[in-house]
Amino acid sequence: MKIDETLLQRLEKLSFLQIPDDSRSQMMEQMSEIVSFVDNLTELDTNGINPTFSMENSATVLREDVGNVDGTINDSIISHSPYATDHFFIVPKIIE
């Protein structure tokens, strides 16, 4: 798949990024190479392979799900916010 200017503009809009004019052609070339590399994976024969196959033989290590009971993590996070009250972030209204 070739990344063209139209697709690059759409990706910019979706990602909220702006690519400088002097590096647009290099970015399109690099993205095209990445997509071509990933596209090679479609040629792999995966018939007969369990979709949940893993190279790891051990199970996922589980841990007890325990919340932060003393609240110190929450206070630390909220302290970095310019606007917060009652342990909640205050953000501008975006939906009318």
- Report residue 32: phi and psi, to 5°: -65, -40
Mean pLDDT computed over 75-84: 87
pLDDT value at 55 more than 80: no
pLDDT value at 70 more than 90: no
pLDDT value at 68 more than 80: no
**DSSP 8-state class, residue 48:** T
Q: What is the DSSP string of 65-89?
A: ----SS-HHHHHHHHT-SSEETTEE
Residue 55: how many CA atoms within 13 Å on its side-chain side? 0
Residues, the chain, total? 96
Q: Which residues pair with 88 in a beta bridge?
A: 85
Q: What is the pTM of this model?
A: 0.49
